[in-house]
């Protein structure tokens, strides 16, 4: 009886496999939503309560200092100000910008049609709201159609043709080649659309650090558009010399960036692995195909399996190689000793494929370098140094105040404690402030930042070369292990040099004293008893250096093992007696 029940359960599972997979997918997605909600609540709720208490304290302080203002009148003013702010109109006295000039309206239409919707500017009139409905009703489908056409044309150039070309040239399995290509494309797009633009925004928007700029780029290009960060809408907008041109450039960046993101997503969706994964959730639709189409799909899967090196142990019937595959086999590295093969190994598809051990080593090297890039990108947005000084006025010798300077690579915060010469908290951009001060400090700091950017570039190049070597054998060129050695070594050396330059700039020069005096509200100030400590961002450069060396070690271990194996193959001939050699 129990056996019959088990058989019925197994039969039911087999018949409804796709439905069960879909049910598990729905349950997993709901759990993902619940876990995300719990994490966000745990992180953000304390900050919300703290901000609410600060606002209540500021309100009570204002009413106590201005007894002529009643609580009801202040409440009415705050409500009107918040309503106006929700419509994009500020009540600040120095705010003279317009939200509905032509360039700002163009930026608004781009956010509407791409469904980004920051919410920083909304229609004020009923006519504008009605027109927005009809404009979006027609424009959003047209925009989706336009983006799909553009993406498909770009896909042919950057995805389909390169994969087909290298598949014919290298005789590599198309599924593996497509996966490597999608990974490389994602890394390049992340560098061009997220890392570099975030760095530019952190320099232009003085109220943003690197993490906030990266957050804006990601939220915008994924069309989430929360609206908490909008370029040109911060308090530093008066420092932008050409706001209209700046807004137009942002509009172009968002449109081009959205197209590139869609290209990456479409490339990932067209992967054979993704297609097979999707088929698990609607298997019934595949069975309803006609027999000829089903046979074509089955032959495609069989061809992918034949080109997979992991299936070499299976005895497939021999396949006649094509002309391109035979030509590819002739372009092998001639330094490799000849070893006769038979059976399936004679196929041109497997003649130049790297071994599983090589693929594992080079893929591990790429993963280690990718982790180092993530560490370096994070450390560039966090605190690097913290310095505490004791201060006094220029005419007094009584040091009765202190100030703490938190220094990042791009932004800094000066917090005072009982020091009358500073604001309670002064935020500043490090590079422009040091440029105004001049001297050796700006040279050392700019050199450290430049070296870190070079580290990112060399690490990205090392990742590309590692992935390239995991599917091919480009030895004796700089696209082989030599390129990885060069790029990773340069990354490790430059990062170590950054550690030296930064600590020298902070502790061996008068950097802190110059910054403190520059931020002292144009008053003469004396400082002494500096105590500097390196912070988390500075120490994160060390694991970046270590991971770069680990990437080199992984490639060296594989190279050493391959060299030892070649020597072992040559040793029987070298150690043979001369009589046998002559014979």
Over the stretch 209-230, which tens digit does the pLDDT of each residue have? 888 889 999 999 998 887 788 8
Question: Is pLDDT of 316 > 60?
Answer: no
Report how far residue 263's alpha carbon sits from residue 166's, in angstroms, rounded to the nearest whole number: 19
Does any domain span residue 22?
A: no
* The residue to which tokens 């935020």 are assigned: 427
More confident residue, 322 or 158: 158
pLDDT for res 546: 92
Same structural domain, 281 and 396? no
Among the listed ranges 43-57, 444-458, 516-530, which one has the minimum average pLDDT value? 516-530
Q: Which residues pair with 405 in a beta bridge?
A: 387, 414
Does any domain span residue 86?
A: no
Does any domain span residue 30?
A: no
Same structural domain, 268 and 362? no
Question: Is pLDDT of 68 > 90?
Answer: no
Confidence of residue 322 (pLDDT cuts 50, 70, 90): very low
Confidence of residue 475 (pLDDT cuts 50, 70, 90): low
Cβ-proximal residues to 511 (8 Å cutoff; 6+ apart), any chain: 441, 505
Please spell the DSSP secondary structure of 262-281, one letter per residue. HHHHHHHHTSHHHHHHHHTT
Does any domain span residue 582?
A: no
More confident residue, 309 or 508: 508
Mean pLDDT of 498-514: 81
What are the tokens at 463?
A: 């990742």
Does any domain span residue 339?
A: no
Please compute Rg for the chain using Cα positions: 31
* Structural domain ending residue among the three candidates 330, 353, 376: 353
- What ranges in 280-322 are assigned the alpha helix state H? 283-287, 291-306
Mean pLDDT of 256-268: 92
Mean pLDDT of 22-26: 85
Report how far residue 355's alpha carbon sits from residue 360's, in angstroms, rounded to the nearest whole number: 9
Does any domain span residue 35?
A: no
Half-sphere exposure of 534 (CA within 13 A, CB side): 16
More confident residue, 292 or 544: 544
Asked if residues 261 and 221 have their Cβ atoms less than 8 Å apart, the reply is yes
Confidence of residue 93 (pLDDT cuts 50, 70, 90): low
pLDDT for res 418: 56
pTM over 0.75: no
Half-sphere exposure of 209 (CA within 13 A, CB side): 18
Same structural domain, 387 and 277? no
Does any domain span residue 509?
A: yes
Does any domain span residue 328?
A: no
Please spell the DSSP secondary structure of 396-437, one letter per residue. -----EEEEEEE-SSEEEEEEES-TTS-SEEEEEHHHHHHHH
* Structural domain ending residue among the three candidates 353, 377, 394: 353
Mean pLDDT of 45-68: 85
Quote the mean pLDDT of the chain: 76
Question: Is pLDDT of 529 > 60?
Answer: no
pLDDT for res 47: 84
CATH code, domain with 416: 1.20.140.150
CATH code, domain with 276: 1.10.287.70
Q: Which residues pair with 528 in a beta bridge?
A: 390
Same structural domain, 275 and 401? no
pLDDT for res 258: 92
* Domain residue limits at 145: 100-285+348-353
- Which range, 109-113, 291-295, 465-469, 555-559, is most confident? 109-113
Q: Which residues pair with 412 in a beta bridge?
A: 407, 428
Mean pLDDT of 228-237: 69
Confidence of residue 179 (pLDDT cuts 50, 70, 90): confident
Report how far residue 548's alpha carbon sits from residue 550's, in angstroms, rounded to the nearest whole number: 5
Question: Is pLDDT of 563 > 80?
Answer: no
Same structural domain, 271 and 403? no
* Structural domain ending residue among the three candidates 353, 380, 395: 353
Question: Is pLDDT of 7 > 70?
Answer: yes
Looking at the structure of the chain, the number of domains it has is: 2
| 156-170 b/e (C-beta count within 10 Å ≥ 16 → b) | eebbeebbeebbeeb
Mean pLDDT of 166-180: 84
* The residue to which tokens 């942002």 are assigned: 250
Q: Which tens digits make up the pLDDT trace of 327-381? A: 445 444 433 443 333 333 333 333 356 677 788 888 888 888 988 888 888 888 8
Same structural domain, 142 and 259? yes
Same structural domain, 361 and 265? no
Instruction: Determine the Cα angle at 431 with ends 426 and 432, to 5°.
Output: 70
More confident residue, 521 or 457: 457
pLDDT for res 341: 37
- What ranges in 87-125 are assigned the alpha helix state H? 102-113
Same structural domain, 110 and 217? yes
For the stretch 371-375, contacts whose Cβ atoms lie closer than 8 Å and that sit 24 or more positions apart, written own/partner, are 371/547, 372/459, 372/491, 372/543, 372/544, 372/547, 372/548, 372/551, 373/456, 373/459, 373/460, 373/463, 375/540, 375/543, 375/544, 375/547
pLDDT for res 285: 45
User: Which helix (DSSP H) or strand (DSSP E) does residue 387 occupy?
Assistant: strand 385-393
Q: Which tens digits make up the pLDDT trace of 127-163? A: 888 898 988 888 888 999 999 889 998 998 888 888 8
For the stretch 416-421, contacts whose Cβ atoms lie closer than 8 Å and that sit 24 or more positions apart, written own/partner, are 419/391, 420/393, 421/391, 421/393, 421/520, 421/521, 421/523, 421/525
């Amino acid at each position: 009886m129990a056996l019959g029940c088990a058989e019925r359960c197994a039969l039911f599972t087999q018949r409804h496999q796709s439905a069960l997979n879909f049910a598990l997918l729905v349950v997993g997605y709901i759990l993902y939503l619940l876990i995300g909600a719990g994490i966000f609540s745990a992180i953000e709720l304390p900050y919300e309560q703290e901000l609410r208490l600060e606002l209540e304290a500021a309100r009570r302080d204002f009413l106590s200092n201005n007894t002529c203002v009643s609580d009801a009148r202040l409440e009415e003013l705050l409500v009107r100000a918040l309503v106006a702010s929700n419509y994009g109109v500020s009540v600040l006295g120095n705010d003279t910008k317009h939200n509905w000039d032509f360039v700002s309206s163009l930026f608004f239409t781009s956010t509407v049609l791409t469904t980004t919707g920051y919410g920083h500017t909304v229609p004020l009139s009923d006519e504008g709201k009605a027109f927005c409905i009809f404009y979006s009703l027609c424009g959003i489908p047209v925009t989706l159609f336009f983006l799909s056409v553009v993406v498909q044309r770009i896909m042919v150039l950057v995805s389909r043709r390169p994969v087909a070309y290298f598949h014919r040239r290298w005789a590599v399995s198309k599924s593996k080649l497509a996966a490597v290509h999608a990974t490389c494309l994602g890394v390049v797009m992340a560098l061009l659309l997220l890392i570099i633009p975030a760095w530019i925004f952190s320099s232009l928007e003085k109220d943003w650090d690197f993490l906030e700029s990266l957050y804006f780029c990601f939220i915008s290009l994924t069309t989430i558009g929360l609206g908490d960060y909008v370029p040109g809408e911060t308090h530093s907008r008066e420092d932008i010399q050409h706001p209209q041109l700046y807004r137009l450039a942002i509009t172009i960046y968002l449109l081009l960036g959205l197209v590139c993101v869609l290209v990456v997503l479409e490339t990932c969706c067209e992967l054979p692995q993704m297609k097979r994964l999707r088929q698990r959730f609607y298997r019934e639709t595949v069975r309803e195909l006609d027999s000829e189409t089903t046979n074509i799909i089955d032959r495609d899967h069989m061809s992918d399996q034949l080109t997979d090196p992991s299936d070499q142990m299976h005895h497939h019937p021999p396949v006649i190689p094509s002309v391109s595959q035979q030509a590819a086999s002739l372009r092998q590295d001639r330094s490799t000793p000849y070893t006769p093969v038979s059976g399936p190994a004679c196929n041109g598809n497997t003649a130049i494929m790297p071994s599983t051990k090589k693929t594992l080593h080079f893929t591990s090297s790429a993963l280690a370098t990718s982790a180092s890039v993530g560490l370096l990108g994070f450390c560039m947005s966090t605190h690097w140094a913290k310095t505490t000084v004791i201060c006094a006025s220029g005419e007094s010798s009584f040091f009765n105040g202190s100030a703490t300077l938190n220094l990042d690579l791009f932004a800094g915060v000066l917090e005072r404690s009982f020091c009358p010469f500073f604001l309670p908290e002064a935020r500043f951009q490090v590079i422009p402030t040091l440029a105004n001060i001049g001297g050796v400090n700006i040279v050392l700091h700019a050199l450290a930042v430049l070296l870190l950017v070079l580290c990112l570039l060399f690490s990205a190049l090392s990742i590309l070369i590692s992935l390239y070597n995991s599917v091919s054998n480009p030895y004796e060129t700089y696209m082989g292990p030599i390129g990885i050695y060069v790029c990773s070594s340069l990354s490790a050396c430059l990062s170590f040099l950054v550690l030296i330059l930064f600590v020298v700039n902070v502790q061996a020069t008068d950097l802190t004293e110059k910054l403190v005096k520059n931020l002292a509200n144009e008053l003469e100030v004396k400082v002494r008893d500096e105590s500097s400590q390196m912070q988390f961002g500075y120490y994160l450069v060390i694991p970046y250096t270590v991971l770069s060396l680990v990437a080199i070690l992984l490639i060296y271990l594989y190279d050493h093992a391959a060299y030892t194996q070649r020597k072992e193959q040559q040793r029987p001939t070298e150690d043979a007696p001369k009589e046998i050699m002559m014979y």
